[in-house]
Amino acid sequence: MEMPRPDPAILARKARVVARLQEVLPDDAVIHDVAETKAYECDGLAAYRCPPMVAVLPRDTEEVSAVLRICHEEGVPVVPRGSGTSLAGGALPTADSVILGVARMADVLEVDYDDRLIRVQTGRTNLSVTGAVEADGFFYAPDPSSQLACAIAGNIAMNSGGAHCLKYGVTTNNLLGVKLVLMDGTVTELGGGHMDAAGLDLLSLICGSEGQLGVVTEATLRILPKPEGARPVLMGYDSSEVAGQVVSDIIKAGILPVAIEFMDRPCIEACEAFAKAGYPMCEALLIVEVEGSDAEIDAQLGLIKQIAAKHNPVELREAADAEEAGRIWLGRKSAFGAMGQINDYMCLDGTIPVSELPLVLRRIGEMSKEYGLGVANVFHAGDGNMHPLILFDANKPGDLELCEAFGADILKLCVEVGGCLTGEHGVGIEKRDLMNVQFAPEDMAAQMAVKDVFDPQWLLNPAKVFPLETSAPHRRVAAE
């Protein structure tokens, strides 16, 4: 993945930039020693690394504003960073950039149960947002797999999802307001505690803009009362077609499960070996979870089991208690870790219309043979968000490139059947060069026009989202 060459003129100004940043931040918040900046050389897409020129760790909005004002004046690119868990290279620096990390901004600023919201600094981790309200019976709904580590800042940048989106939506549906710092240091608020926009919905543009429009320092998030209870049921089938049909039938029956997860045989095998969750060995495994009181859960699961049974499952198991429920989820939740034990892997996250599931799985199987690389599938079946894990050997020359080519073919297939390149991980650098598969040049131009408005100099995370040759004219104009 190519990155723009660092600007020698910026590198030559390093000492001055550092000195200016040190004027507005505490000493330990400006990291410029070459050995120390290495800690910020990559995010979750670890195949690509490049230490930044400087990393800064501001503590509040005022410090973020001061940093951005200086970088704006100095013409230095800024790469915002949450916790660095991006799987798409969203926080990958260039050698001439300043990494702006929000890790020191993790405070809860306000909790209001009557208005059902929480206001936090965006360096706070996803799970600890729920942690702040859990004892009082509330939770924050979006739950990406990395929720223990990932920051709300990154969740907003990538519009993160999770396993429970079918019922509760993704980040954008749970974000009520932000405090935003523009590249020139201007601070503004978008949204707030209310439920719709006063004018144009700028908040919705910010969510999912991959840190290219501004730096979000504070977020007002919707919190929800915890359901009375939740219970999963596990079902196994001989073919993914049948499992896909079961998903469709459940939804058509008028039931809205809170989660429907799907795993194929390679994934089941890996999870079994790793977590010993007691999964049946079969071609397709579904975990379907519903919420409510005990009686409500019984009623919903009753219907779901009726539908499941019609399709001759090889296994149909309802969790009898919390421990069994935990075991059912254990395998799924450790799927990525389990695969990591066996192999290096690349995790994709294209989304497809649910009806195309059998076709897409069959094609992925065929491509796996053509490329000679194994693939395991685990995904959110209710919303069509796939997570094919392509297995490769990072130490074998050429394997990464082969894996990337295979991944690109899978994503092209997702677009071809009416889906998209990325459902929740974001484009970053990883899928940047595939954008023209999904979008016509004018569609990308319209998106880049938005960046022109928010960041006319293209200094914020400039080498992401759009193919470099596509964004080059905008970046060049900005540089002049």
Partner 1 sequence: MRPETEDAVAAQIAAAKGPLRIEGGGTRPIGRPVDGDVLSLAGLSGITLYEPGALTLVAKAGTPLAEVEAALDAERQMLAFEPSDMRRLLGTEGVPTIGGVVACNVSGPRRVSAVGACRDSLLGVRFVDGAGTVLKNGGRVMKNVTGYDLTKMMCGAYGTLGALTEVSLKVLPRPDAAVTVTIAGLDAGRAVAAMSAALTTPFEVTGAFYGPFGDGGTLHLRVEGMEGSVAYRAGALVKELAAYGAATVESDGTATLWADIRDMAYLAESACVTRTALRPSQAAAFIAAVDEGAEATHYLDWGGGLIWSGLDVGAGDAVSVMHGAAARLGGHTTVVKAPEDLRRSVPSFQPQNPTVTALSEGLRAKFDPRGILNPGVMT
Q: Using CB under 8 A, which residues numbered 161 to 220 contact partner 1?
A: 161, 165-170, 172-173, 182, 186, 188-190, 192-202, 204-205, 207-209
Dihedral of CA atoms 409, 412, 413, 416 in degrees, nearest 10, equals: -160
Nearest to 21 by CA among 64, 75, 84: 64
Which x/- pattern over 95-124 shows residues binding partner 1 (rule: CB under 8 A)? -----------------xxxxxx-------
For the chain, how big is the Rg over CA atoms in Å? 23
Tokens at residue 158, please?
A: 């990538």
Lateral strand order in the sheet of 54-56: 30-31, 54-56, 98-101, 78-81
141 binds partner 1 (CB under 8 A): yes
Distance between CA atoms of residues 427 and 422, nearest Å: 7
Exposure class string for 450-471: b at 16+ Cβ within 10 A, else e: ebeebbebbbbbbbbbbebebb
**How many chain residues are in contact with partner 1, going by CB under 8 A?**
97
Residue 318 bridge partners (DSSP): 233
Which of the ranges 99-107, 119-127, 226-234, 339-347 carries the binding residues for partner 1, by CB under 8 A?
226-234
Range in contact with partner 1 (rule: CB under 8 A) among 14-22, 34-42, 222-230, 327-335: 222-230
Q: Which of 85, 145, 159, 461 binds partner 1 (CB under 8 A)?
A: 159
Site for partner 1 in 297-336 (CB under 8 A): 299-300
Q: Which of residues 249-308 bind partner 1 (CB under 8 A)?
A: 249, 251-256, 292-293, 295-296, 299-300
40-79 binders of partner 1 (CB under 8 A) = none
In the complex, minimum distance from the CB of residue 254 to partner 1, in angstroms, rounded to a whole number: 4
Indicate whether 465 belongs to the interface with partner 1 (CB under 8 A): yes
The rounded Cα 219 to chain-centroid distance in angstroms is 17
Between residues 343 and 447, which has the closer beta carbon with respect to partner 1? 447
**How near is the Cβ of 282 to partner 1 at its closest, in Å?**
22
Nearer to partner 1, 186 or 306 (CB): 186
3-state secondary structure of 99: strand
Structure tokens at 338: 């389990």
Name 235's bridge partners: 286, 316
Which of residues 62 and 399 has its CB atom nearest to partner 1 in the complex?
62
Phi, psi of 112 (to 5 degrees): -135, 100
Site track 355-384 with partner 1 (rule: CB under 8 A), x = hit: x------------------------x--xx
